[in-house]
Amino acid sequence: HAKSQGANRYLFFNDSMNKLAVKRLQVENLIRHGLKENYFSVYYQPKMDIISGTLVGMEALVRFITPKGGLISPASFIPVAEETGQIIEIGEVVLRQACRDVKTWLDQNLFHGRVAVNLSSRQFSLPFLCEQIDDILQQTELPSYHLELEITEGTVMQSPPQAIETMKKLRARGIHLAMDDFGTGYSSLAYLKQFPLNTLKIDKAFIDDMNTARGRNMVDTIVTIAHNLSLTVVAEGVEQAEQLDMLRKLRCEVIQGYYYSKPLSATDFADFLRLQKIQRSKTHSAAVLS
Ligand code: C2E
Ligand code: MG
Ligand code: MG
Ligand code: MG
């Protein structure tokens, strides 16, 4: 069969535009298959208080686990999923799993904070977004207090007035909102102050630039803007102790990055939580005994 189409195929695959289309179609099929077979899994990356070094929360990050146990990063499938709309279903799977996991850790007295889940613009603009979130929170029995949603500038700038409405509805439920990848998009300061946000996440690109004076000034400026808007600042992609020191001096509150931990599977993250708990009780008994 393949042989009989050989000549056509050759032409087909030789065209770079078609190659791209084929690649996209393959990814789309892989995603569809993955959704059917539950190949999507949620990893968690700790967010740490920059002063105390204790855990304040975590970000849920989707992974595609192949049948052989391989791990496919979202960078290679999220863009396609955005285009095809499959991101809506992936997002629902991630949100439900994150709520389920956090409920478990709450019940085990391992965690009391918030889990941050990324929302794509396709999800954010769903007319039934709030109802869907309500349903998931109800089904998983997770109080809305424990949920934070991360959205990007691109998402909210598509239609700022509508975005503000949606954000207000989410905030009214006690859900926190974070602006992700801040500084890489096109949001204006005029809008930034109107968005009912709780947190601003500085994109890794700015943290990478902190080895230059210009780069440090830039981060300083972003932190100042955030604080003027009463937002908590999270630095993303912190890898080095020097970056952490500089961020502490700039009064950034929370850091997330390989310096503390890469994103972990739910099992590994639960171990991380247990370790944190042991350290907390040690610090506590030390304080009591001293
Ligand atoms: P993001 O939301 O900005 O997530 C942070 C990304 O930075 C994650 O990449 C994380 O693994 C990576 N990261 C954190 N610390 C470090 C570090 O110290 N060094 C380096 N090199 N990287 C670090 P990841 O998990 O590959 O996700 C990439 C992007 O894919 C996310 O960026 C987000 O935009 C998207 N994404 C991931 N999961 C979901 C999801 O469930 N739904 C949606 N809509 N998007 C998702
Ligand atoms: Mg994020
Ligand atoms: Mg980010
Ligand atoms: Mg990012």
DSSP 133-150: HHHHHHHHT--GGGEEEE
Residues contacting ligand 1 via CB (< 6 Å): 45, 61-62, 73-75, 78, 87, 91, 94, 118, 120, 150, 180-181, 236-239, 256-258, 263
Q: Among 47, 99, 115, 118, which residue has the most ligand 1 atoms within 8 Å of its CB, making it the best to mutate?
A: 118
8 A C-beta contact, residue 115 and residue 58: yes
β-pair type (147-152, 176-182): parallel
pLDDT of residue 19: 80
Residue nearest to atom 16 of ligand 1 (CA): 237
How far away, in angstroms, is 148 Cα from ligand 2 center? 10
> In Å, how far are 87, 99, 202 from 139, measured between CA atoms?
21, 9, 33
- Band (pLDDT 50/70/90 cuts) for residue 8 is low
Closest atom, ligand 1, to C-alpha of 95: 41
ipTM > 0.95 for the complex: yes
Global pTM? 0.93
What is the C-alpha to C-alpha distance for residues 95 and 101, in angstroms, rounded to an integer? 10
State pLDDT tens for residues 213-247: 999 999 999 999 999 999 999 999 999 999 999 99
Q: What is the Å distance from ligand 1's center to 61 Cα?
A: 6
Q: How confident is the model at residue 281 (pLDDT cuts 50, 70, 90)?
A: confident
